[in-house]
Structure 1
Amino acid sequence: MSIAIGQAVPDFTAASTGSGSVSLAGLRGRKVVLYFYPKDSTPGCTLESQQFRDLRGEFEAAGAVIFGISRDSLKSHEKFRGNECLPFDLISDADEAVCRLFDVIKTKNMYGKQVQGIERSTFVIDAEGVLRAEWRKVKADGHAAVVLEAVKALG
């Protein structure tokens, strides 16, 4: 079961780069962009992260904070963040609690084998903690700009 647009997102706390942990309740008053991606330092995930990085100033001007989320370790996230000069924190969801909250763990085919992995997805949560937009099965290139328009449309 996943959260529907218009519903309050249950609070969660997760390990992150930078501050050490992020709690959704602690972000009240700001719009939150959560983009889930499969793996640090892979081509699509790098491109998507770079595009969010390049638009960060516009997201901030619109009152939004960005977080990337994958199952990678904090150590992997710190390296990826450093290599790509990402100016926002990455959340490590090794136990898949946040991934399951947003229902982004899906069965995928990888080299003919069925594996469980993150389906590239993005969610926009408003300043009151309500889910306002979601994208699933995202194509990385150009996606950050689409999300930015949705954030701006929230006012």
Structure 2
Amino acid sequence: MTIQVGDLAPDVPDTTPPLALSAWRGQWVVLFFFPRAHATHCQMQARRFQALMPEFQALGANIVGVSSDTGAQQMTFRDVCRVSFPLLSDAGERIGGVYGVLEDAVVEDEETRRLKRQTFLIDPQGVVVEHWTEVDPNTHAGEVLAALRQHEAPLA
């Protein structure tokens, strides 16, 4: 099942660390999924979000990245990309399963299951207000920021 716009964004408590989006009620959340921590496009996407982090923070938004890499790989990725937002490991496919973003793929001639590059924008009440299924890692962070500004405009 894929989470749809209008759905309440679910917590995923049986992950390490738990994905407890409910703890951020009252704040916006950008939840982005990416396939592999050390792939060029994934690094680009994470760095673009980091570059715009002050603008997201000014709008009261938290950013969380999720990939199917291990926690150790995520820590290395965080250091390489110099990101300050949380990166979660979904090696057990729990988060991707709940959000419906898993796919079968062939990577380096090996069949694997991985996360699709997708993003969810979650409002302060915990409701998914945007879901991107087609993501250009080079421009996506700006696109998400623009959508956040549009959603914030009526509140200002």
Common topology (TM > 0.5): yes
State the identity as a percent: 32
* Residue matched to 2:25: 28
* Residue matched to 2:133: 136
1:94 correspondence with 2:91: yes
Within-5 A mapping of 1:43-82:
43-82=40-79
* Residue matched to 2:122: 125
How far apart are 1:127 and its partner, in Å?
A: 0.6
Provide the alpha-carbon RMSD of the alignment.
Answer: 1.6
Q: Cα 1:49–1:74, aligned 2, differ >3 Å: closer, same or farther?
A: same
Of the structure 1 ranges 114-123 and 124-133, higher mean CA displacement relative to structure 2 is found in 114-123
* Residue matched to 2:9: 9
Distance 2:141 2:99 in 1: 19
Q: Which has the higher helix share?
A: 2
Structure 1 unaligned residues grouped into runs of 5+: none
How far apart are 1:70 and its partner, in Å?
A: 0.5
Of the structure 1 ranges 41-50 and 137-146, higher mean CA displacement relative to structure 2 is found in 137-146
Secondary structure of the residue aligned to 2:16 is strand
How far apart are 1:111 and its partner, in Å?
A: 5.5
How far apart are 1:12 and its partner, in Å?
A: 2.1
Secondary structure of the residue aligned to 1:15 is coil
Aligned 8 A contact 1:72 1:94 in 2: yes
If the length of structure 2 is used for normalisation, what is the TM-score? Answer: 0.89
